A and B are shown apart, each in its own frame.
Chain A
Amino acid sequence: MADLKKQIIEQLNLQEVTPESIGNDEPLFKEGLGLDSIDALELIVLLQQHYNIRIANPEQGPEIFYSIRSMAEFIVAQQTAKA
């Protein structure tokens, strides 16, 4: 999850945020990191670029991108399914 935090900070240009300041279960949108709809699109790009994962069902988005932990669990599940 530490690597994922670094990737998110770089992808979303969160220059005033450190990996340590992002809680694993903290909401990424609204009250947590305060990400917006463009950031959501950038997270989709991040999954494609770094993990070669495409989200087949857009309705899963809020669940996948709820927190660092939910994103990490989704990535692991996708990689396990591919293996």
Chain B
Amino acid sequence: MNSAEAYITGYCIIRQQGIWLNGQLLWEADRSMDLQEWLRAGYDRFSGQYPKFHKMDALSKLGWLAAEVLLKDAPLQALPPEKVGMVLSNRSGSLDTDLRYYATVKDIASPALFVYTLPNIVMGEICIRHGFKGENTFFVSENFDPELMSSYPAQLLAATPLEACLCGWVEVMGEAYEVALFLLEKTPTGLAKPLTATALNDIYLNNKISK
């Protein structure tokens, strides 16, 4: 399958205290908020009624919130759960939480932190929320890799039963964070932008599709 046979049908960017959906700035919070305060404010604004959110680590909260915003108007409910997959990546893995967990080991190790000491847990949280059961993979790379994030999901959409795939970048280390979450589908709905590495990179760099 040529990657042009899959489409970018939506995307959500989170950076610098702001959330963009399909190129439109939805919300920008007070820059004085720390990350946890900002995540709570984002949860209150875009979701609520999901107490498990408060137990997640920052990585899972970021990915979960981006999926919440992205899928609010494109919930993929028409697709069977096993036809929606996910391919995410970041630079730091779960190191942010690993260090927090390590700090508790000196006293009594925290079970609640331990369960987030793998980067792919964020995908589990998104799958639980939306009921997805398709294949998912997490890559660790130095920077957002548009070639990998276009070719691998395109291959999944071509060679497996997947009809849709969330893909992108969910990074957090301390107070530094960045999310670029894309919804890719075989059917050209939504933005219907042909999937290419250039298109993904353009959105990642500019928060929107350039003309």
A residues contacting B by CB (< 8 A) are 12-17, 34, 38-39, 41-42, 45, 48-49
> Number of residue pairs across A and B with beta carbons under 8 Å?
30
User: Nearest chain-A residue to B110 (Cβ)?
Assistant: A45
Count how many chain B residues have C-beta atoms less than 8 Å from C-beta atoms of the other chain. 10
B residues contacting A by CB (< 8 A) are 40, 51, 54-55, 107-108, 110-112, 115
- The distance in angstroms between the C-alpha atoms of A81 and B171, with both chains bound, is 50
Task: Tell whether, in the assembled complex, residue A45 and residue B51 are in contact, meaning their CB atoms are under 8 Å apart.
Answer: no
With a CB–CB cut-off of 8 A, which chain A residues contact B40?
15
Task: Tell whether, in the assembled complex, residue B108 and residue A48 are in contact, meaning their CB atoms are under 8 Å apart.
Answer: yes
- The distance in angstroms between the C-alpha atoms of A38 and B112, with both chains bound, is 6
- The distance in angstroms between the C-alpha atoms of A75 and B40, with both chains bound, is 34
With a CB–CB cut-off of 8 A, which chain B residues contact A39?
112
Q: List 20 A-B contacts (CB under 8 A).
A: A12-B112, A13-B55, A14-B51, A14-B54, A15-B51, A15-B54, A16-B51, A16-B54, A34-B51, A38-B55, A38-B111, A39-B112, A41-B111, A41-B112, A42-B110, A42-B111, A45-B108, A45-B110, A45-B111, A49-B108
With a CB–CB cut-off of 8 A, which chain B residues contact A14?
51, 54
- The distance in angstroms between the C-alpha atoms of A14 and B55, with both chains bound, is 8
User: Nearest chain-B residue to A40 (Cβ)?
Assistant: B111
